[in-house]
Structure 1
Amino acid sequence: MQVEVLSCMRHPNLVLLLGACPEYGCLVYEYMANGNLEERLFQRGGTPPLSWQHRFRIATEVATGLNFLHQTKPEPLVHRDLKPANILLDNNLVSKISDVGLARLVPPAVADDVTQYRMTSAAGTFCYIDPEYQQTGMLGVKSDVYSLGVVFLQLLTGKKAMGLTHYISDSIEKGALSEMLDPVVEDWPVEETLCFAKLAIQCAELRRKDRPDLGKDVLPQLNKLREFADESLGIRPFGGSANPSPNHSNASMSHGTINSISQTSLTKPKEYLPAETDPD
């Protein structure tokens, strides 16, 4: 078996592709010590649960890597199969997107904010595929935004993807989001978690025109959530320590935890809650 060394795009949130063997259809990636996000969310092999701080950070890293793909020139690159199994974690639990083998380069003629391209058949994984893409074959950067929303919902719940959008939307309307959150995390911060859940629901809207823009709308909200997570651990924006508490969960407890709040506080949005997206 002969492995060809490949040159590829470099980004801290994309797995480094080292080579490929066309004969056997084999790809060679950099070693990622902590496996993939799916294994960690379901604690396979007895791995410890991910804290809410790690989940907020992973969400931001994945969105950042995806946005990089969408901004490639001269053609945006659409992943088409984003899911927890294709998000790998290194030794420090830094997340990187892998398996862009299904991605397609979108022709420059339609490379704009509403970029879409007609494919002859839908590709991807059930529950993560953009419903519009599946029905019409029209591929666009917001097809990945739908998949990203489903991944966000799994970060919140630690559950399988089937039906999550409906269940989370229903729980928010009833003021019962706490019942859907992953129980292995006991100190979910109230307002920030609600904000993240609503953002996830927006990303997973059935109609593409109702989904927010990844770079303009989604990433600014995620960056604020990541900053909040870092602050709870005593991490300053550019490194260093801010005298973190021996028990980092105390930082989030000051904002109230999901398990001990009233319905009123759960339904009150934070000031940086993303605005509703106007129909195109």
Structure 2
Amino acid sequence: MAGLPALEVRMLLTHVTGLSRTQLITRDTDTLTIAQRDAFATLLARRLAGEPMAYLIGEREFFGRKFRVTPDVLIPRPDTEVAAEASLARLAEVPQPTVLDLGTGSGILAVTLARERRDAQVWATDISPGALMVAQDNASALGADRIHFLVSDWYAALPPGLRFHLIVSNPPYIAAGDPHLVEGDLRFEPIDALTDHDDGLSDLRAIVSGAGARLLPDGWLLMEHGYDQAQATRQLLEDTGFTEIFTARDLAGLERCTGGRWQGARPGGTTAGH
């Protein structure tokens, strides 16, 4: 098919027909129904116009699981698996951990942590009701039944006194006016999930400044960020009193996820999960 890689054409045909790749090969003399032909033509035109494959077929794999995606949420990317792996490593010795995923989007981090740690109590927030609906659908489809979903502007709507062993977030971190926002897949993704409409650090600042009131002693805060924001993020954590600050690199070797440990005083109020 002119203009599209053969793999993408097969993916669209599989989506339209419900046939596997092998079935498409063994049944290559079959013809599409009128409805299938129209649906395929529509998807083909949208793809040729640049719309991401993930939105066309409605799913994308993350951490070995298929997640439903819609234009309400960012498309899951392999880079974010670094945050999932770093979170799991820091929860490895914590029994029945309590976890908060801020700005959950499609729910990839919350669901992954809930599935990999079946003993965890996970909370997931997002300011977008549409995104939260997608995340809830993914949790249900993937058997992650210990997640509490909440429409919230970062920490704002969380119950008072609720504290966590780990907070993780993939917040908007692209600066306003960045040329990447009008290129490639980013043109089609929700703008408010991509950019803070500021310097790219304002949401990271908000997350760091509010974390101390929501972390248990020795709890961890982990955040994904832009390839050139690691030093600034480490400085935010250091200035706020975090220790054991680290940065993990993504598959391309770029600094992608930074975190630190909270050494605040033990709260007098109720802890998360108790």
TM-score by length of 2: 0.26
Q: Which has the larger radius of gyration?
A: 2
